[in-house]
Amino acid sequence: MKKSAPPRAQMRTHETSHHGFNRNEPYAWLRADNWQEVMRDPTLLDAEIRTYLEAENAYTENEMEDTEELQKALFAELKGRIKEDDSSVPAPDGEYAYATKFVEGGQHPKFVRSKRDGSDPVTLVDGDLEADGKAYFKFGGASHSDDHRYLAWAYDDKGSEYYTLKVRDTTTGQDLEDTIPDTGAGGVWSTDGQYLFYVQVDANHRPSKLFRHKLGTAPSEDVLVYEEQDTSFFVGLGRTQSGRFICVGSGDHETTEVWLIPADEPLAAPTLVAKRETGVEYSVEDNGDRLLILTNAGEAEDFKIISVPLVAQLALPGKSHWVDLIAHKPGRLILSHDVYKDYMVWLERVDGLPRIVVHRFIDGISHSIEFDEEAYSLGIAAGFEYNTTTIRFTYSSMTTPSEVYDYDLATRDRVLRKRQEVPSGHDASEYITRRLMAPSHDGTLVPVSLLYKRSTVLDGSAPCLLYGYGSYGISIPASFSTNALSLVDRGFVYAIAHIRGGKDKGYAWYKNGRREFKKNTFYDFIAASKFLASEGFTAHDRIVAHGGSAGGMLMGACANMAPEAFAAMIAEVPFVDVLTTMLDDTLPLTPIEWPEWGDPIRDKSAYGYIASYSPIDNVEAKDYPAIFALGGLTDPRVTYWEPAKWVATLREKKSNDSLVMLRTNMDAGHGGASGRFDRLKEVALVYAFALKQTGKA
């Protein structure tokens, strides 16, 4: 098979200057001047840019042509592990229960409703039907009115995350004329079902305005309820578990402010809970005559839960009435809280592992739900009901398929409602999961979760896929992945590095991996690679690193800092042009990102620090591992030109002949292909790359 030469992007002078530092960005022209319009209509992309991206796609296809049969085999495996006619456990709400389901061969979910006992099932939204004829379709979720008559549902048909919100009459199955464009993915109902609240996304993809829509009126008549003036804050919307209040939240990555609207008084003005204070986060639930607030106020770094009289709080916003109910305990990070009539339930993480804690209001007694495996994933589904003693949680580990339990808060009985089926078969006893601690550059121990087959020989000969993220306080759970089995069954060690920048070991784990400490994230990941090699789990010429979005930035930074530590890298929608993006406050996520990375526009030291690790700005004339970058044309989070510029820069500067490829999905955004099977084809492609680069193809 004849290999083609890689595309070469034309270099054009594009000079900028900040704080006395001069830069030239020769590939800046790959950013379309009309990128906002392209997000809404991809056909408007400049012809020259399109030609270049399509040339890159053709090059990637040519380079991966010898893996076509492998990709088909991988896809068949991946698909074979999915129960095609799967459905969620119905969530009860009064006389009804709601669920999502898939049919055999279907790409998209159906949103269904039945009677509480499971009788009289009805499909309210058919994702496959709505997606018919569309190159991209994503169901954005649905919410029903309190009387169950109306359903607000949303969809995105460009991949740009501009959702169209519709209202469906469940008695007729027909949509009303109430069609609202450019929203976030969902709406919140007033108690009477006559008003729908939603957040509008502006031309720069910033959710900044809250509107109230009266059913049966034109969207042009919708009332602006709240507008966020600070461009670094995004507006969010929800409703307390009791249904009593509509919550309007505004915030960035470290600060929040919440306003409440009584759900039964939809025309009332929002009431402030507590004024924003830099570095203070809080979320609100209500219980009778009080509010229960999860917060890090008062130096409660790992969060606490306070109680405050409702009347006093709304009459005098602020923290003057706040009294600790669940005190701050260093090292115990409270992640979320759900409040029911007689109980409060929270999810916390201690020593890197999650657990659920149940607190009974009448006597203040608490108990926890814990598990025995070395590493596992745990989640809570709050459900729709408030006056209940039943909660639902999910559990899995890297060897144990996902399990859904109903748990009785009073009796402490648990009932298994669903166990993830793997149609092609899965024997957990054939696999081993472990939790290791890798020493980083400063002696900090970094958790690393492993999955490998019991028959895998650990003498350094096994290839390894090492996954990492490490930003925004997001922790990567050690959960079950049917996809990973395709590598593990071929002798791979599958590893997750729980690096700083997440909250795996508490809030301090996050703080020590952001802003002026961001390089700890990269050092931790490199340390994980070195530790796995030194302990004989793999070798550096067999390690494939994998990360997406901010994890793609991790890939780029580590490729610059320690290219010898990796055989190859997979960077999906990689945030690799950090400095340029943080200098452009017109881009969708830039202002809200400054607390995470620093503000290089106003802060010279932040500029210098970001410039010292920003992947594109630190590519050098040296040997690099093989790199596969993937982007999405309509991605509003990591714009398509970031991976395009990075690949062009690598080709220009690297000194070896390692393979560097770019694939841009011309019909999708940040999440890649929308259909569940189409997405698996992308997984098969990147796994084929990993297998090829480690000699396993």
Which residue of the set 475, 549, 614, 674 is catalytic?
549
Q: Rounded to 5 degrees, what angle do the CA atoms 328, 435, 381 make?
A: 55
Contact at 8 Å (CB) between 228 and 208? yes
Interstrand relation of 445-453 and 414-419 (parallel, antiparallel or unpaired): unpaired
Strand partners, 629: 571, 662
Residue 337 is among the residues annotated as catalytic for this protein: no
Closest among 29, 50, 26 to 38, alpha carbons compared? 50
C-alpha radius of gyration, the chain, whole number: 25
Catalytic residue among 126, 156, 302, 635: 635
Of the residues 377, 617, 670, 674, only one is catalytic, namely 670
By the 10 Å C-beta count (0-12 exposed, 13-18 middle, 19+ buried), 679 is classed as: middle
Q: Which residues is 115 bridged to in the sheet? A: 96
User: Are 284 and 293 in contact, with CB atoms under 8 Å apart?
Assistant: yes
- Residue type at 507 in one-letter notation: Y
Active site includes 635? Answer: yes
Q: How would DSSP label each residue in 561-603?
A: H-GGG-SEEEEES----HHHHHT-TTSTTHHHHHHHH--TTT-
Q: At what angle do helices 604-613 and 550-561 cross, to 10 degrees?
A: 70
Sign of torsion over alpha carbons 582, 585, 589, 592: positive
CA 230/CA 210 separation, integer angstroms: 14
Block residue for tokens 């598990």? 371
Question: Is the separation of the CB atoms in 560 and 615 below 8 Å?
Answer: yes
Active-site residue flag, 670: yes
**Amino acid letter for position 79:** K
Judged on CB neighbours under 10 Å (0-12, 13-18, 19+), 157 is: middle
Give the whole-angstrom CA distance, residue 546 versus residue 302: 29
Catalytic residues: 549, 635, 670
